[in-house]
Amino acid sequence: MHEYTGYTGQSLQFLKSNEVAVGNSVKIIADLTFFGIIMPRYEHSDDKHIVLKLNSGYNVGLEIEKIKQVEKLTTVEKNIEENEKVEKNPNLPKILLLSTGGTIASKVDYRTGAVTPILTADELNSSVPELAEMANIDTQVLFSEYSENIIPDHWIEISNKLVEYSNSDYAGILIAHGTDTMHYTSSFLSFALAGFPIPIALVGSQRSSDRASSDAALNLIGATKFLVECKTKGIYVVMHNDESDETIACHLGTRVRKNHTSKRSAFKTVGENPAYLIFKEKILKNTTKDFFTSKEFNPKINLDSKVALVKYYPGYDPNLLEKIIEMGYRGIIFEGTGLGHVGKTMYDTVKKAQSKGIFLGMTSQCIDGRISMTVYESGRDLLDLGIIPLENMIPEVALVKAMWALGNLKETNDIKEIMLCNIASEIS
């Protein structure tokens, strides 16, 4: 990394005149005294501030005009950590960690102050040494993407890689994943790999490992403990259950969504309790239900991404739906109001979509509850127009399932049937 990355104009001149650069540990005296590491900046940032990563892990922007003194404490070359070599314990089970990006498998690079991905088992052991006492962990990097950049092609790549290990001696597989779209990925894996013989846990962190309040290590430890000790199968999302560090929740991959932008307890099971809880070293099954109806592993990894998720709102322009039809979409999942409604201004366009053989499914904007389109006249009208009520499927899950169904089936009746068939507990 360039020693002045992101700094231009006044801020660049300020760093040079004080003989400091990105990655230097410094003491800065302004209105308060700050200790930290000079961080690179976003390339379009202004030139009146520098960014400092404090010892707490938080970043702070400091206005250069208010800085009275800068003292360099260490240089870029210092404070580089050496990873301890992992010693395999033949008595411990094996776990595979597949990394796809996000902040969960990351550490601070003290040369730059930046958070960098953990790429090897040695680095993982150095970052979270507790893991080596629970399992022998092999690591593999599939790709390194922010989760907002994950697309359906990535789901296919993850699925194909997992199939390679369906007959392995691993006790389970961890997937390190960014949190923003983790529940989309967990949904696809749940359908494409139904019946997978060992458990798979997607694990992320809301706060990166350089922050004092990071949930990265605890989520990794909890997910590893779950895979090693819980004799189950299926796809799970493993994250903090609440704001304390006492309980980790294991959510079914098709019944979970991210409900908060930044809380460590952002992920919640919708309409149910989390499948398992890890509390004070114990794993507690949190429901009496049998989660998975599929007994045999028969992967179906194809998909068709030409499915739209349409959130209806008062004033929604039916011409938008017309455009979706014109673009050749094969499925539309409506996120309707209440029990499953859209306004009558949509009816003609819905009828047109139905006449073209487009799959039409209805979910609800409500956080919880079940679709029931026979209660009101408007719902019954939409049923007559060919919209299929999708029980209490989460809208994002219904979207992913429709992509999967359309990718693996051709006949309209078969697609309708499988959308209402409970493949991976998506309908509770």
List residues with catalytic annotation. Answer: 103, 179-180, 258
Strand partners, 249: 239, 277
On whether the CB atoms of residues 406 and 415 are closer than 8 A, the answer is yes
Phi, psi of 231 (to 5 degrees): -80, 85
DSSP 84: P
Q: How far, in Å, CA of 1 to CA of 341, rounded? A: 53
- Tokens for 290? 């049998």
- Tokens for 313? 């709102």
| Cα distances (Å, whole numbers) of residue 262 to 205, 206, 215, 254 | 10, 6, 11, 21
Among candidates 114, 1, 13, which has minimal Cα distance to 70? 13
Sign (positive or negative) of CA dihedral 158, 275, 207, 78: negative
Strand partners, 332: 308, 360
Our CA angle for 409, 336, 155, nearest 5°, is 40
| Cα distances (Å, whole numbers) of residue 408 to 35, 151, 298 | 57, 18, 12
